[in-house]
Structure 1
């Protein structure tokens, strides 16, 4: 990894500045992409923009910026987008600052000395170049305007290309297609790349990627794909399956690992009416504490997908004293701390979490017994 620290005058930064909704935002003689596809979907408010300009006019230092070297003569903004847009916006009279003695000031009515001071101000910029892994490791330790980039934002910065650009169109924009299709089933903020990170994780697992960082591997493999249509198609498969399998929506469905359930159970045939009857019954069962686990349980039949009510300390002590500290299964004596509470009549047979249905077993017997 090569990291070079340079000073860039604002006057040089402003050369060739354009901010076009269709063609993007460029500065530094057209060589700097100020808003590459992975950048965050927010911008400073007027007060924050004014603070940037006032910092410059007072000669105080701005936070260090980070540019990624695309090749020897092209760069992408990693950190500093909002400060750069504030600088350029003030230069183009998009907002003003307020002087307590002189009132409203735009760049155009500054004195020549003030203009020169503004244009000659030197920004501190780290130019970062290296392999994708080296960039990712570097970006993970830098601080972005007081708050660290989230993991998916870092990945977007490293694996930039047509795949990321198209994937963000589907999964990261306000009111994007993924939000319209699956917002009831997804959690997290679009602008923080939560949807994109989730679906990338699903897709990596679906493709059998087992590396320690499966999303990184998936993005590296697809970085130069012309689009993200395959990723979008998989997401649509998952959402279509969820909606057709579970006919009634409940809030407990939001944020579940639907990708994993689709991969495991998506090829099975189910009587959706019977599934709904079973879900409804289980939702009304006070013994089940984690209702969201019901959805996987009705497909898997695995009790580990459910969370049951547990016996309180008082009920455990009562059962322990009743048994004189003897494990019901192995017949050996244990201290209470060495034992675990168990349902005498399992949940599947209608057992409930009440004192008369509590027995104490040693840890080994309880964990080999299994079931509720």
Structure 2
């Protein structure tokens, strides 16, 4: 049994120690290989991070093992599943992955790599030579297979295990805030849904193709954090303070069930609109996280709060052109500012003010509000507002019916008052007004078929 030492960090670890058991022993590489081949070890539990080790780190690990140099302790979480003991890797994923890659185990064959082994020639001179697993002799293979690794096996409540993970993770790269959230709030319904959403192929491709999020940022779960911000901002109906809002949401479980479903639906619709209206994001400054966040929230507000018309092709082209030009002017003013040649005239003031919101505290709620306010002033006039009434009322329906020929305007089918549909001639989505001069009689079939209602 391992003794838990108190440190200056916390009283929490003492509470955790009351419910968790730590068993210390040594496991050989061949044992870990057996666990892997029998599906008894899970390298990717929900609280674990994506791979971040580079090949040189992996090679150095194998060299240490070959030279019988001790490597850091591996922490496992023991659980009983499907009538057998299974282990989740709390800390040590990179080390075990590197070992499995070197051995060329199933699933890792394409990642095989050699390490530099030192050997002595006939004249007692030391040399280094790249060696693959297959190139080792039986004695060398046996030495590696029987190499003992200090292992601590943790047993207890899964929720407490995540706290342990946050504390003992010993990879060379520090955890990001989102990785800590993944560990700490692994049971959060919100986190599970956002993880699923953020890792959808279409969303990952859009974020990467438009250089909004890089591959390395995805490895560090920054895309999950960013999508969390956007969904929470929708639920909040405005900008949030990044520093606190996500943690607060996961702690309180404030966004679940139907509310979460609604926010995710609006997220998907907003992203679809951005793809349609602003196809050139990648070549503008608005593929930066701070700028894209504000643009996303502005489009959401246009769609769901201000009821702006976003289905007009010509207007959308104009809007895209304005966005590109606004971004270009911001870049020009930034260059001038950086070279101390800035023109502080009235024409450049709006660009100066916008740049001030992205130079410091970019994720604070005040800076986000300021950015959105500026973009509203620039772009709002371009868009037509939809009629506040989406549907024709009963009086309008009666007047339309009594002044019509009682037939569908498209197929000329004869209708009755009980089965006719009142629909817009100019589609509502394209700015059509809900007035009698823009109304037509349709049958149910053709009303449903219209995709631009």
Task: With the length of structure 1 as denominator, give the TM-score of the two structures.
Answer: 0.58
Aligned to 2:354: 291
Match of 1:126 in 2: 152
- 1:1-372 equivalence runs, <5 A: 1=16, 2=20, 4-7=22-25, 8-18=27-37, 29-36=38-45, 39-42=48-51, 44-71=53-80, 73-92=85-104, 94-97=112-115, 98-101=117-120, 103=129, 105-107=131-133, 110=136, 113-131=139-157, 134-157=160-183, 159=186, 168=195, 170-172=197-199, 176-182=201-207, 184=210, 186-187=212-213, 189-207=217-235, 213-217=247-251, 233-242=265-274, 249=281, 250-252=284-286, 254-255=288-289, 256=291, 257-258=293-294, 260-261=297-298, 264-265=301-302, 266-270=304-308, 273=315, 283=329, 285-288=347-350, 289-291=352-354, 296-297=372-373
CA-CA distance at 1:142 after TM superposition:
2.8
* Preserved contact between residue 191 and residue 250 of structure 2 (Cα < 8 Å): no
What runs of 5+ residues in structure 2 fail to find an aligned partner?
Answer: 1-15, 106-111, 122-128, 331-346, 358-369, 379-453
Aligned residue-pair number:
286
The alpha carbon displacement at 1:178 in A equals 1.3
Structure with bigger helix share is: 2
The DSSP-based 3-state class of the residue aligned with 1:88 is: helix
CA distance 1:130–1:237, shift in 2 (3 Å) = farther
Cα pair distance change 1:262/1:36, threshold 3 Å: same
Q: Which of 277-286 and 235-244 deviates more?
A: 277-286
100 and 236 in structure 1: CA distance in 2 versus 1, 3 angstrom threshold? same
Deviation at 1:253, TM superposition (A): 5.8
Cα displacement string for residues 345-370 of structure 1 (whole angstroms, at most 9, x for unaligned residues) = xxxxxxxxxxxxxxxxxxxxxxxxxx
Q: Which runs of 5+ in 1 are unaligned?
A: 19-28, 303-372
CA contact (8 A) 1:211 1:217 kept: no
CA contact (8 A) 2:114 2:130 kept: yes
The 3 A distance-change label for structure 1 pair 35 and 281 is closer
- Taking only aligned residues, the RMSD between alpha carbons, in angstroms, comes to 4.5
C-alpha distance in 2 between matches for 1:130 and 1:246: 50
Residue in structure 1 matched with residue 435 of structure 2 by the alignment: none
Cα distance in 2 for residues equivalent to 1:15 and 1:90: 15
Measured in 2, the distance between the counterparts of 1:206 and 1:126 equals 43
User: d(CA) in 2 for partners of 1:104 and 1:132?
Assistant: 42
CA–CA distance in 2 between the matches of 1:276 and 1:201? 24
Deviations 1:67-124 (A, max 9, x none): 3344482222233222112222333484443333375544456555544432332222
Asked if structure 1 preserves the Cα contact closer than 8 Å seen for 2:231 and 2:264, the reply is no
CA distance in 2, matches of 1:70, 1:43: 26
Deviation at 1:268, TM superposition (A): 0.8
The CA deviation at 1:204 is 3.5
Give 1:15 deviation, angstroms: 0.7
